[in-house]
């Protein structure tokens, strides 16, 4: 039975925060958010990594300023900070965690090691979480070789990375709870260790190819029997005729040893810029990703964290199943500082058994209230059709609302 009292108290607080920020916001014109709005297919326009996400360069910091005056610390890209705090109000179940917490405090360095000209250079990129939900630990840590300029196109890689990085798989987001990310262990908190090559054959075609070791051990330690465990990841991103549509596809295969099944996954994704498609009459975007994975359910802490399954009975039944996940999201840019979001997510741990589907609807706002300062708010309604999870306190079966404060420099 749904307990409304605490959840509606959150909605009440959420409503007044929105009212206050609408009144405080004075900018009324629009500007697109995604790179697809600008006809860009290169992540390095705003990010240091060619596969996107994580540390931003100078352009990315200025883009995040959203017409506010950037701080002096945001006018350089040698040092970055990403601070995140969370308030979570779950459905009124005493065994469910909630409240106010510090999610992460990530300090990053982007250090040039050598530079032959404006096209060729070598950099060391290092990010470290100094606290939050997880213990203090390194995040990105890699050497980056740049071989040619941003306005050139070749078959050979523009960038080569060696070290610890996010896998170039699927529609990258900086959330750790999206079903498509959790299913394949490619969340904001998951990393690979190996070599990544990225290039742009033309303005329309981007590719990533990675050779990784250890199956998510991420290079922070030497695991037993990991020396011969190698994986391959490929990603292609297409923007036909530099139009308003971005289409991508990724695949991964991680070889395990002895008689263990080797996990593999594939995903297709796309983004439609409503802004460019409608010639500015509608400001926003539509995003989609569909993922299938096999043998990823076993030893997947992300999947286990979604369930209330203390004895592992349900997880054991789907440990070798072929699974799928779906993400549909629409973003409506109200103005330069405000965006309304609606998303639908679906997870099937056994995709051939739809009766056990997990569904989640979410709607909320993203508000840039100052330079590189973001308030993300969302209310989510979850449904677990699997009988043992339907009335449990697992994260995939409870409603809730949350507010995330994100500050970057």
Rg of the Cα atoms in the chain: 21
> Between these two residues, 360 and 6, which has the higher pLDDT value?
360
Contact 58, 72 (CB under 8 A): no
Whole-number Å distance between alpha carbons of 156 and 147:
9
pTM: 0.89
Check residue 227 and give its pLDDT.
80
If pLDDT is split at 50, 70 and 90, which confidence band does 308 have? confident
Per-residue pLDDT band at 12 (split at 50, 70, 90): low
- % pLDDT > 70, the chain: 89
**What is the three-class DSSP state of 315?**
helix
Cα separation, 68 vs 302, whole angstroms: 37
Give pLDDT, residue 257.
73
Contact 180, 327 (CB under 8 A): yes
Looking at per-residue pLDDT, the higher value among 38 and 19 belongs to 38
User: How far does Cα 398 stand from its chain's mean position?
Assistant: 22
Q: How confident is the model at residue 5 (pLDDT cuts 50, 70, 90)?
A: low
Report residue 42's pLDDT band, with 50, 70 and 90 as the boundaries.
Answer: confident
**Average pLDDT across the chain, whole number:** 85
Q: How far apart are CA 378 and CA 227, in angstroms?
A: 43
- pLDDT band of 24, cuts 50, 70, 90: very low
Write b or e for each residue in 35-62: b if 16 or more Cβ atoms lie within 10 A of its Cβ, otherwise e. Answer: bbbbbbbbbbebbbbbbbbbbbbeebbb
- The predicted pLDDT at position 286 comes to 94
Q: Tokens standing for 223? A: 């695991």
pLDDT exceeds cutoff 70 at 348? yes
List domains and CATH numbers for the chain: 4-408 (2.40.160.10)
pLDDT digits (tens, 9 = 90+) for 116-167: 777 899 999 999 998 877 777 889 999 999 999 988 999 999 999 999 999 9
């Amino acid at each position: 039975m749904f307990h409304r009292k605490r959840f509606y108290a959150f909605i009440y607080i959420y409503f007044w925060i929105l009212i206050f920020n609408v009144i405080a916001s004075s900018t009324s014109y629009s500007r697109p958010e995604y790179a697809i709005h600008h006809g860009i297919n290169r992540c390095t326009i705003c990010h240091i990594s060619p596969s996107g996400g994580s540390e931003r360069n100078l352009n990315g910091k200025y883009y995040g300023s959203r017409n506010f005056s950037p701080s002096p610390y945001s006018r350089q890209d040698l040092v970055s900070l990403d601070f995140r705090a969370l308030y979570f109000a779950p459905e009124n179940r005493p065994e469910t965690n909630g409240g106010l917490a510090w999610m992460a405090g990530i300090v990053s360095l982007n250090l040039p090691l050598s530079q032959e000209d404006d096209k060729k250079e070598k950099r060391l990129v290092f990010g470290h979480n100094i606290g939050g939900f997880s213990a203090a630990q390194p995040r990105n840590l890699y050497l980056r070789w740049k071989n040619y300029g941003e306005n050139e196109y070749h078959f050979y890689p523009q960038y080569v990375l060696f070290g610890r990085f996010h896998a170039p798989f699927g529609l990258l987001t900086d959330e750790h709870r999206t079903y498509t990310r959790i299913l394949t262990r490619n969340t904001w908190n998951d990393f690979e260790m190996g070599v990544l090559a990225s290039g742009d054959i033309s303005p329309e075609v981007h590719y990533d190819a990675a050779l990784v070791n250890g199956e998510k051990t991420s290079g922070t330690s030497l695991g037993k029997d990991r020396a011969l465990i190698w994986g391959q990841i490929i990603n292609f991103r297409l923007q036909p005729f530099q139009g308003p549509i971005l289409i991508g596809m990724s695949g991964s295969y991680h070889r395990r040893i002895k008689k263990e099944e080797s996990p593999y996954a594939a995903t297709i994704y796309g983004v439609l810029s409503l802004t460019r498609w409608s010639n500015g009459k509608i400001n926003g975007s539509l995003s989609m990703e569909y993922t299938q994975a096999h043998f990823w359910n076993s030893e997947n802490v992300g999947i286990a964290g979604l369930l209330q399954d203390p004895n592992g009975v349900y997880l054991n039944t789907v440990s070798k199943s072929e699974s799928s996940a779906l993400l549909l999201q629409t973003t409506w840019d109200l103005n330069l500082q405000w965006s309304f979001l609606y998303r639908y997510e679906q997870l099937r741990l056994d995709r051939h058994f739809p009766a056990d589907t997990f569904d989640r609807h979410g709607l909320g706002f993203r508000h840039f209230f100052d330079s590189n300062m973001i308030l993300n708010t969302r209310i989510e309604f979850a449904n677990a059709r699997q009988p043992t999870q339907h009335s449990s306190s697992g994260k995939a079966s409870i409603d809730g609302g949350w507010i995330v404060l994100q500050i970057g420099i």
